[in-house]
Amino acid sequence: MDTVERIKQQIAENPIMLYMKGSPKLPSCGFSAQSAQALMSCGEKFAYVDILQNPDIRAELPKYANWPTFPQLWVEGELIGGCDIILEMFQQGELQTLIKETADKNRSEENA
């Protein structure tokens, strides 16, 4: 499986996916730290990929997403954006709603 296929699979399998530097508990950059913190504040589980451990994804994802920087938040297969957008949505209460609705929807699908 090539890198782009792996990215597509990760995004498809994880309704809430954060590509970041480091991990939510041990972020390796300030922007990733702020993004993970905002997501964790929403109170729902999310998947993440540490791009520092996956140089192939780090190289390919910006081209695939047409978004040059990290972190990148993907919700239900759609690129939401990077740190600035995540924090802006969080401050306006939009991120909490989006994350909660996505988690609820996917929970009900699992239980159906």
pLDDT in tens, the chain (112 residues): 899 999 999 999 999 999 999 999 999 999 999 999 999 999 999 999 999 999 999 999 999 999 999 999 999 999 999 999 999 999 999 999 999 999 999 988 777 6
Between strands 78-81 and 16-20, the pairing is unpaired
Q: Whole-prediction pTM value?
A: 0.95
Residues with Cβ < 8 Å from 105, sequence gap 6 or more? Answer: 15
CATH code for residues 3-111 = 3.40.30.10
Annotated binding site for glutathione: 21, 58, 70, 83-84
Annotated binding site for [2Fe-2S] cluster: 29
Query: What does the alpha-carbon distance between residue 90 and residue 38 come to, in Å, rounded to a whole number?
Result: 7
Annotated binding site: 21, 29, 58, 70, 83-84
